[in-house]
Structure formats: C-alpha cells, structure tokens
Chain A
Amino acid sequence: MTTLDLLVQNLSRLPGIGRKSASRIAYYLLKADRSYLATVARQIAELPDRIRSCSVCGNYTEEDPCSVCADPRRDRTVLCVVEQPQDVQTIDATNEYHGLFHVLQGVLSPIDGMGPEKLNLAGLLERVRREGVREVIIATNPTVEGDTTGLYVVRLLKGSGVAVSRLASGLPVGGDLEYADRTTLARSLKGRTPLST
C-alpha cells in the first residue's frame, strides 16, 4: 500500500467521509502548500493535549473550567443535560438559554455496553446537590435511547426537589403542516400546549 492509499483509508474513517471524498481530500492535500499542511497536521496532533473535558460539565475546553461554567452572567440554578459536547454549542447558539450545561457523554444503551456507570451521572447528582440547582432541563435526542436516558435521569433526581423538564418536540418553526411527517405531527399532537382563552 502506498502512502496515499493509507491516507485515503484513514481519511475515510472520518464521519460523513466516504472513500470518494477521502480520495478527493487526499489529492487536494497533495497539491496544497507545505505551510498549510504543517499547520493542519500540528492542529490535529495537538488536539488531545490542548483540549480536554471540563471537570464541571464535561464540555470540551482548553481552560478548565470551560468558558460556559466560568461565565459569571449565567444562571447557575438551571442545568441543561445533553448527550454530547457538540450539543452544548448547538443549544448555546440559540441565545435563548442562559443557564449551565451538563454533558452525559452518551446515552444508555446496554446493546453497546453503555450502562449508567459509563455516563456522567454521578457528576450530575453532585452538582444538583451542591450547587443550588433548581431546574434540570433534559435535552437528550428524541430517540428511544435518548428518551429512556431522560427517564433514567428523572428517576435519579426524584426526591432531590429540583424541577425537571424535557425539551418539547414537534413541528419545525416556519414549516408547513402539510410537509411535516406523520410521526412528528403525532408527537406534536401528544405534546400540544394549551392556549389561554
């Protein structure tokens, strides 16, 4: 196997990159100038040394605690529980949420060997107990695994005195009813919200 073949093979392991894209990227890199290659290579090599998990919420960060946890303007009584570090950015980008986050680092899935002990649940309980949290918002994905993980968190927090809620799921904003798939519609019917009259 040539160096180029090996590179294509390694690139095609990346998410969303198939063999064809991997080979396009490899040929692009072949033509790219040396300083660009050196910079990208260095950035990739430095990732595990520079980026680590925030010891408070589990988000990826270069500083510990992360910028979200360290931000004094944030509401420290509300915690949003997410599956992955990427979800923190997604929710934060809405500018609608001003509380703190807690990253579970996965979902319960005994098929894949993911039991509760592999999730960052102990840290969540600890934070709820010690940091004066009043509300926990569960923002796991609306999948079977995400839903049951959410339920597990609810059980775990029973008796702790915090209010627990789950992100609403249903119709996309700006979308037409006729284009919504039936599952989404059925779920939004179930989770409909009352209007005052």
Chain B
Amino acid sequence: MSFRTLRTFHYRNLADAEIELSAPEIFFVGENGQGKTNLLEAIYFLCFGASFRTRADSLLLRHGEREMSLQGAYVAGAERGEILAKIDGAAKEIRLNGKVVRDRKELLAASPCIVFSHDDLLFVSGSPEERRRFLNQTMSLHDPLFIDLLRRYHRLLKLRNAALRERRRDLVELYDGELAESGLSIQERRERASGEFNEIFRPLFRSISGLDGELDLRYAPSWRRGARPEEIRSLLGSRYETDCELGTTSSGPHRDRLHFSLAGRDFSKSASTGQLRLMSLILRICQASYFSKATGRKPLLLLDDVLLELDPVRRERFIGALPASDQVVYTFLPDERYAAFRSSSTIVYRVEKGAIIG
C-alpha cells in the first residue's frame, strides 16, 4: 500500500499541513531535530495506531496542546481508503474509512508498514524480550490469530502470577492447563515461523555482509520441543514452590530466546557495531519479504537515517535487496549523497523547523 497524502494537526513539532505523497519514493531531507523522523512516525501511527518511538501517546501532542490529529489517504491495490487518528486528552480514536477501529489489529488488514530505525539494533543485541518482540511482530503482521494467542497467553500468565503470589494452588493448577495449551501453540508457531524466516535470512545476510559462514537465527524455546500439554502441566506443577517464591512463572514462551549463531557461536557477542547494525537492517528486509510471501501484499517501507551507517558497498547491496514495495519513505541528512538513490518519480522534501520548505 502507499499513502497519497498526509495531513498533520498539532502533531509534535510539525507545522499543520497537508503533504502530497503520491510517488513510489519520498525523501525527507533535513538536519537533525527538524522533524524528519516525526513525519515517518506520523505515517507509522496511521498504519498501526501507535508510535514506534514511544508508548506515551501524550508525547505526540505539540507542546501545550490538548488534541492532535493525523489523516492519511491511501491506495492498496484497487482500494482507496482513509485513516484518521485523533488524540484528545487521554482519549485516542482511530477511524478506518470513517468507521471507528475497536482493535488495532483491524488496521493490520488495511495498512501494513515496516520501519527501519536505529532502535532495531535491540533486536540483535538487546534483551531476550526485545528479540522476542521482533519475532512476535513479524508473525503478527500477517497473522491476527497469533496476536489473539499472545494476548490470551499473557492474560493467563498475569492471572497465574497473581494466584502464585496468593499461594492459591487450586487456581494455579487451573491456569497451568490453559497456559500449557496456549503456550505450546505459540511455541509451535514460533518454531515454524523462525524456520521459514531463516530460509530468507541466511542467504540474504551472506550476500549483503560478504561474511564467510552461515549466520543462523536460532529459536530456543523455554519448554522442550515437541512437548505434550500434560508434560508441561506437570513441569509447571513441579515448579509451583519455586514460582511462588519468585512470585512469577519461571518457564514458558515468555522466556523463549533467539540467538544469532555463526559457525555454532553466538554472533551477537563477537560482531562489530557495524555488523550488528547490518544484521538489524537485514532482519527488517526479511520481515518485509516474509510478510509479502505470506500475504501476497506489498508493505510500505519507512527508512529512518539507516543508510548513514553503512559503507558505500553495503549501502548499494542493501538498497538492491529491499523487497518490492508500493512505497518507500526515507529520511536523509542534507550532506548525504541521496541524489544517487533518487529516480525521476521521487519526491524530495526539505524539512526545516517542522515545516516542509520545498
């Protein structure tokens, strides 16, 4: 899908404006702190009803304002539509073609986008939770059932942990059975998805990085592979005392891990910053390809200052490896050689002090 226009009102530091976006590539060029990333964030917000930079929606309001709104007209295949997002005080409302969106996952069906940002580094070098987030995100993009499964699992986990803290063995056992069942479903799906993902990731990493050896994304589930629900139930039962003392459930998909292994060794520990950066970018490319493969749809790509950190050779290879998309939006610093990447249809905007100046 692609956006035709974006309208912003009282949004961050951006001047209220309607911006024309009818082109396969959009470049936002400007110094740091002028509002380039805010523009990407606005598009992302329309796609997912949330920001990729903060969970606090109040930060999206211009300083001193109580309300803000974003509006985007999009095209997806033969369909034309409009997304409207409003924040008024603490209330958030998103409308898709005039209808109020009750669950953000409804938006996924209309408007997937994939953002390449600096924080993606956490997917490869961050905590296990950050890495799981990548896998969850990749799977949720095309599978709303996985979102439901995750929500159910986390709700059960919360209830079980509350029961543990009160040492209610009868309730804990009740949740064990349900937790085992939905947890194993998550594990099974993650196992399958990470295998399929690897098929895309391995060759792509080799061709872009030029490194010898295979880099593997390895999924290490907390529970035994192929375990039956009864086995997990008795495992949870056997850890009842420990879990009570910890006040939390010590095993399950919320403890799964992801490793990047090169010739059997954990690559995240030995990789240089540049290599980690490259890995995170390639993960995003694969996420987009994986989405396209699973759905037959092309995502919208948002690239936030990512080319800056790559050497010229890898930059070329990276651009060459970007998956087919309906639209790509880049941010650049003024002294970057962005002209090399533009085509005749590219729209280039200069961004200064929150305004588009041409």
Contacts and interface: CB of A to CB of B under 8 A. Distances in A.
Interface of A: 108-111, 115-116, 144-145, 147-148, 151-152, 155, 181-183, 186
B145 A111 contact: no
Given A110-B168, A151-B177, A145 B159 contact: yes
Nearest to B175: A148
A111 B166 CA distance: 10
A146 to B, nearest CB: 11
Majority SS of interface residues in chain B? helix
B159 A148 contact: yes
A183 B170 CA distance: 29
18 contacts: A108-B159, A108-B171, A108-B174, A110-B162, A110-B163, A110-B168, A110-B171, A144-B155, A144-B156, A144-B178, A145-B155, A145-B159, A148-B174, A148-B175, A155-B174, A183-B145, A186-B145, A186-B148
Nearest to B164: A110
B152 interface: yes
A144 B175 CA distance: 10
Interface of B: 144-145, 148, 152, 155-156, 158-159, 162-163, 165-166, 168, 170-171, 174-175, 177-178
Majority SS of interface residues in chain A? helix
A183 B148 contact: yes
Contacts of B152: 144
Contact of B162 (A111, A144, A155, A182): A111
B145 A152 contact: no
Contacts of B162: 109-111
A182 B156 CA distance: 21
B174 A111 contact: no
A26 B184 CA distance: 53
A151 B170 contact: no
B166 A152 contact: no
Given A110-B171, A151-B177, A144 B145 contact: no
A170 to B, nearest CB: 15
B100 to A, nearest CB: 14
A49 B201 CA distance: 69
Contacts of B165: 110
Contacts of A116: 170-171
B168 A183 contact: no
- Most chain A CB within 10 A, of B144, B171, B177, is at B171
Given A111-B162, A155-B174, 8 more contacts: A110-B168, A116-B171, A144-B156, A148-B156, A148-B178, A152-B171, A181-B144, A183-B148
A11 to B, nearest CB: 18
B144 A183 contact: yes
Contacts of A186: 145, 148
A108 B173 CA distance: 13
Contacts of A148: 156, 159, 174-175, 178
B171 A144 contact: no
B44 to A, nearest CB: 24
Contacts of B174: 108, 148, 151-152, 155
Contacts of A109: 159, 162
Contacts of B170: 116, 152
Contact of A115 (B145, B148, B155, B171): B171
B233 to A, nearest CB: 13
Nearest to A108: B171
A27 to B, nearest CB: 22
Contacts of B155: 144-145
- Most chain B CB within 10 A, of A115, A145, A148, is at A148
Contacts of A144: 152, 155-156, 159, 178
A154 B120 CA distance: 46
A110 B159 contact: yes
A186 to B, nearest CB: 6
Contacts of A182: 144-145, 148
A152 B173 CA distance: 10
Contacts of A155: 174
B159 A111 contact: yes
Nearest to B178: A148
A35 to B, nearest CB: 38
Contacts of A152: 170-171, 174
B241 to A, nearest CB: 18
A145 B171 CA distance: 11
B178 A147 contact: yes
A116 B145 CA distance: 31
